[in-house]
Homo-oligomer: A and B are copies of this chain.
């Protein structure tokens, strides 16, 4: 089954919004074995929607359209679809009831715009939206399935999981493609590629490999046709012999998830002292449900007074060595462990930039520390990107340093 995604929205074309919906849908479709051959972002106009339907309906097995279903008059996808498919608009009582209930919960009444949202083309299957007021729609036309979904991310995700995936499953052959992921950290792309060059040369025809870099992590994606799974497993086992030092794990693992696994297994706890990363490490940890089992909390010691007052960094250390120093980050890591009573801790201090750098400590200079039940280790990094990238890379580097210590302690 071949599919394309059409995202309707001037807000994407003007760069005001990133199209994260298409990534979610593409990921879900790929997992099902549906081949996504293109994603198109188009204008919120009847002409652009009609043109996109002309280009995709009949050519593809599946077309998923997102956006343009909101209650305001700048949203026109539904009308364009109804016109294109020659449908009449009818009020759907179940949808109307759902809208009424949702608004009642928010303590507001039904508007004329909301009533319009309960009108749907008479030749579509309605996909109920329990998270919002705009329903999804499922059409069949010239051999294509055409599905229209709201653009609000959590509403769209809800309808995909509840209705789209279960609806598509019975229509799919058992074939299709599969992916396997191996997550690495610590080697730049070209260097990793060089180390893997002989390995890639021996890759059988049924498998292909791709490098997906992100903030120091590189995911290796193996793609194959169903039936070649055992072959992929064998090649991945081989990979563990070639680059054992940089493999984090497989599948949808991330460094923070691996840290979570290791802490849970050992029933150990973690705390964080963040200066330049400003809460980013804590946010990554808290993004994982159930983190309260091992995550005690953090001190975001952005000002020097907090480093001194809560974490116990001596004023003299900051005066003589500076807040961005090995001495400071060490005491921060040990201090937060003491204050929270955790078994492990992470600390960061640095200059995220763009300003605040000096000749000896340019923007991007970051010290990280990990304190274990046995000792405290430190690392200095020189990142030279923008503020957001420096913060993210520092956070991942610090979590990885902890991961390596935990993996070692387990052995």
Question: A: which residues have CB within 8 A of B?
Answer: 10-20, 22-30, 36-44, 48, 70-74, 105-106, 108, 111-114, 117, 131, 133, 152-154, 157, 179, 188-191, 193-194, 200, 208-214, 219, 221, 223, 272, 274, 277-283, 285-287, 289-292, 295-303, 305-306, 309-310, 339-341, 352-356, 382, 384-389, 391
Contacts and interface: CB of A to CB of B under 8 A. Distances in A.
B13 A26 contact: yes
Q: Does more than half of chain A's interface fall in helix, strand or loop, or is it mixed?
A: mixed
A189 B72 contact: yes
Nearest to A301: B297
The count of identical subunits is 2
B303 A300 contact: no
Given A16-B212, A39-B12, A300-B298, A283 B278 contact: yes
B289 A278 contact: no
Counting chain B CB atoms within 10 Å of each CB, which of A41, A42, A153 scores highest?
A41
B13 A24 contact: no
Given A74-B209, A194-B112, A279-B286, A37 B28 contact: no
A274 B305 CA distance: 19
Contact of A189 (B11, B71, B190, B356): B71
A190 to B, nearest CB: 4
Contacts of A14: 26-27, 30, 36, 179, 221
A200 B211 CA distance: 49
B190 A111 contact: yes
A368 to B, nearest CB: 16
Contacts of A74: 208-211
A341 B304 CA distance: 12
A354 B310 contact: no
A296 B303 contact: yes
